[in-house]
Amino acid sequence: MTATRTRTVKTIKIDVDKCNGCRACEIICSSFHATPRYSSINPARARIRVIREPLQDVYLPVFAGEYTAAECAGRDKYTIDGKEYDECAFCRAACPSRDLFKEPDSKLPLKCDMCESDPTLDVPWCVKWCLAEALIYVEREEEGEPAAAVEDLDIGLVAIANVHGWPKVLDAVNRMAKKT
Ligand code: SF4
Ligand code: SF4
């Protein structure tokens, strides 16, 4: 009998009512992921962005999910508790429709990695820095294998090819392979 494998799924629950739009989460995320680490702050490079409509009292933190090459066909406006949210407001994808969650220079997609580092943090940085407690870190165990790193590699390659074209990507890969 084969043993069932479990994996830890990490996520962040968002309490929209508590968010005050301070953007501390964007600052620390971009700083933690800067190269070298903590060397710069640029919210455009953050893997969490806060949609802010102060006149409507809308403050909505959204952290980056998977990259998708397809434009979504099902955009809707949402009205919740009398507040109107933009048609793409709740979406976590980096996609061709908008510039959100794309590295500003290379246009490569950005994805939240739960601040995975060595040593692992007990709680991701954006959660630590959210003094309003709008971000709540949650872990749960699920049956199944860990997500394959190769899937992320595929996503990265497709994104680079979308910017530079496949011939250039293949050229670069060939050149690099010859050096190794
Ligand atoms: S740090 Fe918290 S309160 Fe401030 S913008 Fe981010 S989620 Fe909202
Ligand atoms: S968990 Fe880490 S990588 Fe993800 S949005 Fe928060 S600070 Fe950024």
Residue 49 CA to ligand 1 centre (angstroms): 9
Element (H, E) at 24: helix 24-32
Residue 15 CA to ligand 1 centre (angstroms): 10
Residues 132-179: tens digit of each pLDDT:
999 999 999 998 766 555 566 676 677 777 777 777 777 777 777 776
Element (H, E) at 84: strand 83-85
Residue 131 CA to ligand 1 centre (angstroms): 7
User: Which among 175, 173, 159 has a CA at the least distance from the CA of 111?
Assistant: 159
Instruction: Provide CB contacts within 8 A for 71, sequence distance 6+.
Output: 95, 96, 97
Q: Is the pLDDT of residue 1 over 60?
A: no
Q: Which residues, in sequence order, are bridge partners of residue 78?
A: 85
Helix and strand totals (H; E) in the chain = 4, 6
CB–CB of 49/100 below 8 Å?
yes
Per-residue CA distances from 38 to 22, 24, 43, 61, 124 (Å): 19, 14, 13, 22, 15
The per-residue pLDDT for 152 is 65
Domain ranges of the chain: 6-145, 147-180
Residue recorded with tokens 């680079």: 160
Q: 180 pLDDT band (50/70/90 cuts)?
A: low
User: For a pocket test of ligand 1, which of 26, 57, 130 has the largest count of ligand atoms closer than 8 A to its C-beta?
Assistant: 130
Residues 73-128: tens digit of each pLDDT:
888 899 999 999 999 999 999 999 898 999 999 889 999 999 998 888 999 999 99
In the predicted model, what is the mean pLDDT of the chain? 88
